[in-house]
Amino acid sequence: MDEIYHLCMRHMNRRVRVHTCFGEIHEGVIVNVDGNNVYLRTSGGVRTSGKVQTSAWFGPSNDILTLSLFTLLAIALI
């Protein structure tokens, strides 16, 4: 997990694509990292596995998605 944590720290404030162990793919900008989670700012919806899922509850604002560092497999700059 330390490797993923440091990778997230190096890519802070940059647009990334994150792959999880559940087969999900998320895109956004890393805005924060702590000992357990990475926080992605998404633009109006969460891009997951090639499909855009938007939430009518929050509307088209910049949402923050919290992902557990334990579930991350790969991070790529986009």
* pLDDT tens for each residue of 53-63: 544 444 556 79
Once rounded to an integer, what is the mean pLDDT over residues 19-42? 96
What percentage of the chain reaches a pLDDT higher than 90? 73
Q: Are 5 and 61 in contact (CB under 8 A)?
A: no
Contact 77, 14 (CB under 8 A): yes
Q: In this structure, are residues 48 and 9 in contact, taking their beta carbons and an 8 Å threshold?
A: no
- Verdict on whether the full-model pTM lies above 0.95: no
The ranges assigned to domains in the chain are 2-77
Q: Is the confidence at residue 18, as pLDDT, over 50?
A: yes
Phi, psi of 14, deg, nearest 5: -125, 150
When pLDDT is averaged across residues 43-69 and rounded to a whole number, the result is 64
Give the H or E element holding residue 66. strand 62-68
* CATH 3.40.640.10, domain 2-77, yes or no: no
pLDDT over 70 at 23, yes or no:
yes
Give the residue, 46 or 56, on which the prediction is more confident: 46
